[in-house]
Amino acid sequence: MKYTHYLLLMMIALLMGCNATQLTSTWKDAAFAVPNYRQIAVAGILQGVNKRSLREFMERHMSEDLNKMGYRASAISELYGPQALKGMKEDEMVAMLREKGFDAVITLAVIDIEQMQDYMP
């Protein structure tokens, strides 16, 4: 009998803890206007990861998604090659991108990679 009381109390506690999240207030800066970017460069940053194909895939995938959304986006690795920006200073990169007509850059950074391998006979 005690077991059913404990089970009933646990069920009630669980149900009471399942409240829906509710938005109580919002704020929007009335002066903010969404910039109208003409051309966006997508750059992948993979420090400590020697996976050039991963960086190229990330850049290409993001640029394709942005193009589907109506933006003009290009992957830096496709424009300049995989090693083109290596060793360049920030102001040199900015000048090179502006020369090609880019007015925005989206950077994608990989923080950590955990590799798993599944084997199924």
pLDDT digits over 66-89, tens only?
A: 999 999 999 988 888 877 677 888
**12 in a domain, yes or no?**
no
Helix, coil or strand: residue 42 = strand
Q: How far apart are the first and last CA of the chain?
A: 50
Quick one: pLDDT band at residue 30, thresholds 50, 70, 90? confident
**48 in a domain, yes or no?**
yes
**Would you give the DSSP letter of residue 31?**
T
Global pTM exceeds 0.75:
no
**49 in a domain, yes or no?**
yes
CB-based contact 72:8 (threshold 8 Å): no
Question: What CA–CA distance (Å, rounded) separates 84 from 79?
Answer: 9
Domain that holds residue 49: 40-109
Quote the number of domains for the chain: 1
- Say what the alpha-carbon torsion angle 46, 47, 52, 58 is, to the nearest 10 degrees: 0
